Structure 1
Amino acid sequence: MKPHGRLTEQMVADLRQRLLHALAKGPEVLEVDLSQVTYLAPGCCGALLAAAAVAPQVDARLAVTHPNARTRITLLQHGLGDLIDDGVAPPL
């Protein structure tokens, strides 16, 4: 999934629906590529959090990739740092 532009508060319901629909398709990992996102509203962080909570119930994992600096800060401020997948394996 590759959203783009400004993800504003008005887009929260649509983003949540798109994430949950994508998870329902049964991927092992749902990658949310934020490379083209220029702004991430706090409510959209809630949509990501909701999808992350549903993912284990369908044997999936949500991975947020390629956030720009501003989007990364927003994710971290809302406690979503664990969803950021930089392609670095966690330590054993």
Structure 2
Amino acid sequence: MPLPFVRSRLRVLVRLRGELDRHRTDRVHRKLSRALARGPAVLEVDLSKVTFLAPECGAVFLRVASDAHRSGVRFVITRGSPRILATLRMLGLERYLDAPLPFDQSHRPDERPQP
């Protein structure tokens, strides 16, 4: 009989940085999967230091977000340049997130922009 799933933390934060090109896809996937395996209630990915995001690497976010959903873990993206966030929107990531992508670097998913 499998052991029950126990959450180890309320939130795990993963900060990514640099150029996330197709050559770093496996590394990013391993990092996010390890964070997810810790059993948080929320897996937060901070993209404020990411300077480039290749679509192949962006697809990793889709896979991990799907895995998080199946595990009952909220998956959120915080910060990120408008260009990085636009790439994620084009890939359709917002359908898999538990909070909308921020509008720019200064907004967190639980904040609403002021009109």
Which ranges in structure 2 are unaligned for 5 or more consecutive residues?
1-13, 103-108
Q: TM-score, normalised by structure 2?
A: 0.71
Correspondence for 1:88:
111
Tell me which stretches of 4 or more aligned residues in structure 1 moved more than 4 Å: none
Question: Which residue of 2 is the match for residue 67 of structure 1?
Answer: 80
Q: TM-score, normalised on structure 1?
A: 0.88
Q: Could you say which structure has the higher strand fraction?
A: 2
The structure whose RCO (Cα within 8 Å, separation 6+) is larger is 1
The CA distance in 1 between the partners of 2:51 and 2:60, in whole Å, is 17
> Rg larger in 1 or in 2?
2
- Distance in 1 between the 2:110 and 2:81 partners? 15
Unaligned stretches of 5+ in structure 1? none
Query: Is 1:57 paired with 2:80?
Result: no
SS at structure 2 position matched to 1:88? coil
Matched, 1:47 2:27: no
**RMSD (CA atoms):** 1.5
